[in-house]
Amino acid sequence: MLVNRKTSFKDGMPMADYGPDENLNDNADIEWVNKSWVRRLLRVCAFVSMISVSLNTPKTFVYYPHLLYLTFVLDLVIMILFTAEMVAKMHIRGVWKGEAPYLKDRWCQFDGVMVMCLWGSVTLQIYEMAVKPGVGSVAAIMRIIRSPRPLILVRVFRNFLKFQLPKNRINSIFKRSSQQIYNVTIFFLFFMSLYGFLGVQFFGKMKRRCVRKGTQAGNVSLFELAVPDTFCSDDPNSGYSCPNDMVCMELTMSPEIMGFIGFDHLPTSAFTVYQAASQEGWVFLMYNAIDSLQSWKAYLYFISLIFFLAWLVKNVFIAVIIETFAEIRVQFQQMWGPRGGKAESDASQVNLLLMRQFTC
């Protein structure tokens, strides 16, 4: 619809096309890239690739072992098709030099990244089928390369989002909005760093728990902890005091067992601040701090954190996004103003004549 309305723009205005340009693929040597059925096939492959990566989980293969080979075959075929398309476009456009080189086009860059993710995913799956790595192995960590693959679904819809806009106006909008988003991001990182440092200074290590007497600090089972599991303080004037049949002991187990939530050092503190800012279980973090240290520190720290990070910064970021879309809408109204204004004036004149007839 947006392409059909471009006739209402002013003559001579430079236009910026934000959709994929398929006309640059015209070449007599490689005609199959331009065929409509090939483009439809690649869209279907993109959709199937998204389904395949959704099925590619260790638990799925435990319950349905045959899906391991099915996803591998699908990914292999899709990888070959998209690689052939990438090579054909590089041959037509040129890799770095030419009229519209492959590596300088934004959509081609996106397609190239998706192809690289497919290659990495297929290679990793071959290794997993041969070795069957464990949960904590390097191969299990490398599964993160599959995370961008669902973005390939953009190929299914991007041809339907082809539109043209005045280049100068759009660039100015993006420049102003990117500057605003940059300022909000700096604002957010400032408060994250501030509360990260304050958490380390206020609380530090919070590893004291109520356990049964005779418990070893480095080897604690669930049966030796209080029910519910409770933080405690060795200072009788602040924090929580354990019952008579238990003692407050600082546990020395590894973070993999006790968890990475706390204020031991800056990275862990920043992660804890981020979790609290998401308002996901932040009250339990505050209760742990109240049980471990003076309560006023926890109240001051967490209430101000929620106000600045969870409410203020988040709402400012949302306001910037809303303002950007509102400015884009105003630009559309200005570009299409003459046509819309004439229609509105005609409609208002018709309404005025009808009102006069009814009043007479």
Is residue 291 a contact partner of residue 203, using CB atoms and an 8 Å limit? no
Query: Among 56-70, 137-151, 187-201, 340-354, which stretch is predicted with the lowest mean pLDDT?
Result: 340-354
Is residue 251 a contact partner of residue 217, using CB atoms and an 8 Å limit? yes
Higher-confidence residue of 265 and 20: namely 265
CA distance linking residue 291 with residue 207, whole number of Å: 11
Strand partners, 17: 164
What is the per-residue pLDDT for 223?
Answer: 78
**Which domains does the chain carry?**
19-162 (1.20.120.350), 195-315 (no CATH)
Whether residue 228 is preceded by a cis peptide bond, meaning omega within 30 degrees of 0, is yes
Query: Among 6-15, 70-79, 114-123, 191-200, which stretch is predicted with the lowest mean pLDDT?
Result: 6-15
pLDDT of residue 30 exceeding 70, the answer is no
196 alpha carbon, distance to own chain's centre? 23
As a whole number, mean pLDDT of residues 127-152 equals 79
Q: How confident is the model at residue 101 (pLDDT cuts 50, 70, 90)?
A: confident
pLDDT of residue 76 exceeding 90, the answer is yes
Higher-confidence residue of 207 and 336: namely 207
Rounded to the nearest integer, the mean pLDDT of the chain is: 78
H helices of 10-57, where?
36-55
Higher-confidence residue of 211 and 169: namely 211
CB-based contacts of 30-36 (< 8 A; 24+ apart in sequence): 30/88, 30/91, 30/92, 32/88, 33/85, 33/88, 33/89, 33/92
Block residue for tokens 């003459």? 338
What is the per-residue pLDDT for 335?
Answer: 64
What predicted TM-score, i.e. pTM, was given to this entire model? 0.57
Higher-confidence residue of 14 and 267: namely 267
pLDDT of residue 134 exceeding 50, the answer is yes
As a whole number, mean pLDDT of residues 272-300 equals 89
Q: How confident is the model at residue 23 (pLDDT cuts 50, 70, 90)?
A: low
Strand partners, 246: 212
Backbone angles phi, psi at 141, to 5 degrees: -70, -35
What is the per-residue pLDDT for 14?
Answer: 46
